[in-house]
Amino acid sequence: MNVISKKINGLRGEIVIPPDKSVSHRAALFSLLTQGTVEIENFSLGQDCLTSLDLIQKLGAEVERTCERSFKITAPKYLKAPSKPLYCGNSGTTTRLISGILAGQKFSSTLTGDESLSKRPMKRIITPLAQMGAKIKHSDFRLPLEFQGSDLDGIYYKSPLASAQVKSCVLLAGLFANGETSFEEPYISRDHTELMLQYLGADIIRNKTRVYIKKSNLVCRPLTVVGDISSAAFFIAAALITPNSDITIKNVGLNPTRTGIIDVLKQMGGEIEILNQHKISGEEVGDIRVKYSELKGTTVSGEIIPRLIDEIPVLALVATQANSETIIKDAQDLKNKETDRISATAKVLNEIGGDITPTDDGFIIRGKTELKGGVSVDSFKDHRIAMTEYVAGLISKENIEIKDFEWVNISFPEFEGMIERLKQ
């Protein structure tokens, strides 16, 4: 499905942002380990999160939908051996997190995925799991992954990258391992796993960049998922660079390990205000008001990168509208996403009139440039690239046609409709 994005006169009004995908994944997968019933409110209906719900059912959970975004999950006493391979679709989060669970089971299982997911590297999780004693067959460290039933032992693992998915995989395996498992990373990556495991009663301790966990039984507690800051980022970006814009985004998760995009945009001169801040199920949440702003370039690197890694494509777009140069570096992990997001982002932004040079670990972006549009661009079957392209069309001189826009449904099926409601 191809979609046309057109120049507008501004964005105004209020929206309630959809549920956080990272938290939704964890709510579903962790509920599987409680041996009881967990009620989840405000669950994401993006395809990736529905994939996690589907997989826990294949492992023995009962899933009852109680209203549009609410589910009741009853875990089995013992996980059930799946009768056929578990299909993870396009969801890297599902794959990497559930690998930590499957690695410590007594039965064998296999994970598969779609064409895009099957190309993504899994060595970062296979290496620590193998050190714990997991027996995993793989195809050059890619899907399919075949897990043979095995006993795990706790390890100390020092990760070369700050990665929430790798950390979560190892911590989940640690729930089934003998002794203590500890994970250390160079910077603190998003910590939804640690917060939710604490909330559900796991024996887990955090000490700066290191986390310790022991074999634990999780307890049943209700979970409410906060709004997704990664989804909100596209609206924040759109309002900042589209003249005459003034919007408020309600119910946004403000976990400090995820708010790097807000910190950087404020540093660039963005007029962003946080309102009504409070906590839900252990997570910070609040409303964000954003107005069109004159922006200046900046340098983005180091420990803030894990706090905004998913938002970098749209941040690069914003940088094309900032006065002076923006440099983004230390973001080499972008090459391991749904596509090589360094290459894809640079290609697309240059095609529509930006001035961006890709580097091995990021970009050099020279602003301010007029985005000309008037082109048909490839989404690269990547939802974040597609949404970045759509936001670009809102300020481009001519229309932008986006190919295969349906990939946005993986994470944010409501995206286009919410933009339409705010258009002036």
Residues involved in catalysis: 310
The 8-class DSSP code of residue 43 comes to -
Q: Assess contact for 394 and 420: CB atoms under 8 A.
A: no
If phi > 0 it is left, if psi is from -120 to 50 it is alpha, else beta; for residue 269 that is left
> H helices of 32-88, where?
47-58
CA atoms within 13 A of residue 194's CA, in its CB half-sphere: 22
Strand arrangement, sheet containing 356-359: 299-300, 324-328, 362-367, 356-359
Q: CB count, 10 Å around CB of 24?
A: 30
Q: Assess contact for 282 and 23: CB atoms under 8 A.
A: no
CA atoms within 13 A of residue 128's CA, in its CB half-sphere: 30
Strand arrangement, sheet containing 375-377: 3-5, 400-402, 375-377
Partners of 65 in beta bridges: 71
Nearest-CA neighbor of 96 among 176, 150, 45, 25?
Answer: 25
Nearest-CA neighbor of 128 among 158, 84, 98, 91?
Answer: 158
Task: Please work out, in degrees rounded to the nearest 5, the angle formed at the alpha carbon of residue 31 by the alpha carbons of 59 and 187.
Answer: 110
Q: H or E segment at 326? A: strand 324-328
